[in-house]
Amino acid sequence: MATVTRGKAAVVLIVEDDREMLSLLCDEFWGAEYQLRQARDGDEAFRMVLESVPDLILTDLRMPAGGTDYISRLRTIAPECPIVVMTAFGDMEGQNEVLKAGASAYFNKPVRISELKTCVQRLLDHKVT
């Protein structure tokens, strides 16, 4: 399992099926502190995680091969990797299900990018060795 170390760019896998949202997230997280990988759906994300576990997964929930079972499966193949979930179709019951499935954090869309970035950095800082 990859760990974050000081001086090394954290690998963040962004999983999003909406092109505009994917572009926005990549623009916001682009920089020296993050090495970005992209997937368009849950199946592509699984293949990528099986090849190499990222330091953090930032994912949409409602997309092809997505949903609560998707989060559970990600947690099974990457037990130590923080998973940040975003959805435009959230409610308290759904949030609880996603967190029980293994998500580290949950955001309703539209997402406040500053809050999302703070959460991502906090989760990555927690992994620093």
Query: Which CA distances in Å does 46 have to 9, 81, 109?
Result: 22, 13, 23
Summarised one tens digit per residue, pLDDT across range 77-106 is 999 999 999 998 767 777 899 999 999 999
- Separation of alpha carbons 55 and 112, rounded Å: 22
Fold category of 10-127 in CATH: Rossmann fold (3.40.50)
Among all chains, which residue has been given the structure tokens 């809050």? Answer: 115
What ranges do the domains of the chain cover? Answer: 10-127
CA separation for the pair 102, 115 (Å, rounded): 20
Alpha helix (H) ranges present in the chain? Answer: 19-29, 42-51, 68-77, 92-101, 113-127
Q: Please give the model's pTM, rounded to 2 decimal places.
A: 0.89
